[in-house]
Structure 1
Amino acid sequence: MKQVKVDKTTEMETFLAVAMTGSLSGAARAQGLTPSAVSRMMTRIEKRLGVRLLVRSTRKLYLTSEGKSYALAARRILKDLEETERTIADRANPSGLIKVSTPTAYSRLTMIPLYKEFLQRYPNIKIEVEVSDKISNVADGHIDVAIRFGPLPDSNLTARRLGETGRTVIATPNYLAQAGIPKTPADLQHFNCLDFSFQRLEPGWPFRENGEDYILPIKGNMTSNNGETLVELVMEDIGITRVGNFHIEKALASGQLVPLLEDFNPQDKEVIHAMFIGGQHMPARVRVFVDYLVEKMASSY
């Protein structure tokens, strides 16, 4: 004899309604069913399980210990089903807010031109941008995606490589016309070299000469914790600096800035990563955003 398929999801929802309201009629109103239909459903569950789940008094229904266990399991199953459906739907049509943290200069020069196309692709996603040269804490949930340069700290976060940027020593043609052109790294002692203000393990600029890498101490009358500021100072003909290439691509192409000492460039690279909380519960909005960044930026530098 062919068995009739049972809608166990509806049964569990109705059973929980009975448990919550304490009556068949209350559950019937909540579920849009008749009291007799609810009663038949409760009887069918008990018959299939072979245990009593409900005890009826003159005024109210009570759960047996087995009924309490069934209610607990039903809540968990229905919640898991709801989360699964929401996850699958979210993958098909990602939505929600993404909080992104990027360094100041990188935000203006690289990230801002990318946001428009991403939001056109995913119109149900919103982006909140935090621009700061301080490292934001992704692990505490305040930020969804953080763009970071250089070596990665040990953590449980997931990292996707976006690209890398080299560094170049630069000055303006006007400054070089006034101060001269350095022919070797040693010549920099006679020039005003503008450097980053943060402390390094080895202060100075790296060079490669006769196959050997070394750090050359430099000196100047201005420092900054921001590469874009150093470029702006150089554009005012104040001196020479060494910054990441993403800062200066357009200015080099236009001739506003001139690369120096390229024969001595050690070709050191700074890797750029997107940091985020990964895993199977990673929100689709974060996944598609990181995938988009990889697509657009992996070969940029």
Structure 2
Amino acid sequence: MDNYSQMLAFIWATEHGNFSAAARSNGLTPSAISKLITRLEDRLQTRLFQRGTRNLTLTEEGAAYLVSAREVVNAMAEADSLAEAFPTRVSGTLRIHTMTTFAKHQILPWLPEFLATYPALSVDIQVGPQYIDQFEQGLDIAIHSGVLPDSSRIARKVGESAWVICASPEYIERCGRPNHPQDLVNHDCFNFSFKSAWNNWEFEIDNHKTLIPVSAKACFAQGDLLRQMALSGAGIVKLAQFHIGADIRKGRLIPLLEEYALDEKEPIYMVYSNRKHLSPRIRVFRDFLETKIAEQPWAI
């Protein structure tokens, strides 16, 4: 630690031009500053200043050492800012990419509390149905479900969610309830408009995983549009549990064909670029997210 104090005294003396001003500015005595710099010169075995009657002048060696000393002090300051014990230092902009439905139903409800906890932090949330690696463009976190592409990124599982076949009570009353997965071919169903495993309607039939070729009456790029179609009584949809769990609990949507449902849940990951140098803003968001998931599980 004495080496660090010596570097600080050297930088202060350089910035103020003499020992007395450097001492006054930092709550020390001129003799204390002088002793620290003398120890530094003795340790380095070189003279860093030409000492005049009133001012100090850097030697060639002193000018070169100043560059390195400032880099060390700046690195120490950055390390201090990463300390988890000082949440008030969490600042800057946290850039997140996630699924629209996850942002709306699982982040927005508690985001005001998070922002109030870290008032110096701002959040930029970008949404899209599929995972895109944008870390080289400044992205901090991606939150997505399913199978992620192989990469050097760090993927931390934050939860899992089943997929649910469902419809509104109005649709079931009007069109009847399908009793077997094959019955879906005679019902109005809706799907995603992009290529995705989410469009595969698979069931457990006679102890075999079976894909039912559902013909979609309409397709949509966002899960919330599928949800609105189902809520309006237009037809049957397949959506994530974290998305429609509240609708099912309140009876707005009714699960269908549960006896044929696969005993599978899709993992949901928080992806970031580097585990070793995790910034405070990423760390506090991760911890907040996992706490909220634990408090409000997605299970219906």
AA matched with 1:164: E
Q: Note the 1:1-301 alignment, pairs <5 A.
A: 8-16=3-11, 25=18, 28-29=20-21, 32=24, 42-43=37-38, 45-54=40-49, 61-65=57-61, 67-68=62-63, 70-88=65-83, 91-96=86-91, 97-140=93-136, 142-200=138-196, 204-298=200-294, 299-301=297-299
CA distance in 1, matches of 2:100, 2:235: 22
Shift, 1:153, TM fit: 2.1
Shift, 1:90, TM fit: 6.4
CA distance in 2, matches of 1:89, 1:189: 55
Report the structure number with the largest CA radius of gyration.
1
How far does the alpha carbon of each residue in 1:176-202 deviate from its partner, in whole angstroms, 9 at most, with x for none? 222222211111221122112212469
Distance change (3 Å), C-alpha of 1:72 and 1:122? closer
Shift, 1:240, TM fit: 1.4
AA matched with 2:205: E
TM-score of the pair, normalised by structure 2 = 0.81
Shift, 1:287, TM fit: 0.6
AA matched with 1:174: E
Shift, 1:212, TM fit: 0.4
Shift, 1:265, TM fit: 1.0
| Number of equivalences | 292
CA distance in 2, matches of 1:216, 1:80: 58
Q: Is the CA contact (8 Å cut-off) linking 1:136 and 1:143 kept in structure 2?
A: no
Distance change (3 Å), C-alpha of 1:61 and 1:137? same
AA matched with 1:227: G
Distance change (3 Å), C-alpha of 1:11 and 1:257? closer
CA distance in 1, matches of 2:240, 2:218: 18
Shift, 1:151, TM fit: 1.1
TM-score of the pair, normalised by structure 1 = 0.80
SS in 2 for 1:154: coil
CA distance in 2, matches of 1:144, 1:157: 11
Q: Is the CA contact (8 Å cut-off) linking 1:205 and 1:217 kept in structure 2?
A: yes
CA distance in 2, matches of 1:123, 1:215: 49
Instruction: Give unpaired runs (5+ residues) of structure 2.
Output: none
What CA RMSD, in Å, does the superposition of the two structures yield over aligned residues?
Answer: 3.3
Higher mean displacement: 187-196 or 276-285: 276-285
Distance change (3 Å), C-alpha of 1:190 and 1:7? closer
SS in 1 for 2:178: coil
AA matched with 1:114: W
AA matched with 2:286: V
AA matched with 1:208: E
CA distance in 2, matches of 1:37, 1:250: 66
Distance change (3 Å), C-alpha of 1:42 and 1:264? closer
Residue in structure 2 matched with residue 3 of structure 1 by the alignment: none
Q: Is the CA contact (8 Å cut-off) linking 1:98 and 1:127 kept in structure 2?
A: yes
CA distance in 1, matches of 2:212, 2:84: 56
SS in 2 for 1:272: strand
Distance change (3 Å), C-alpha of 1:40 and 1:253? closer
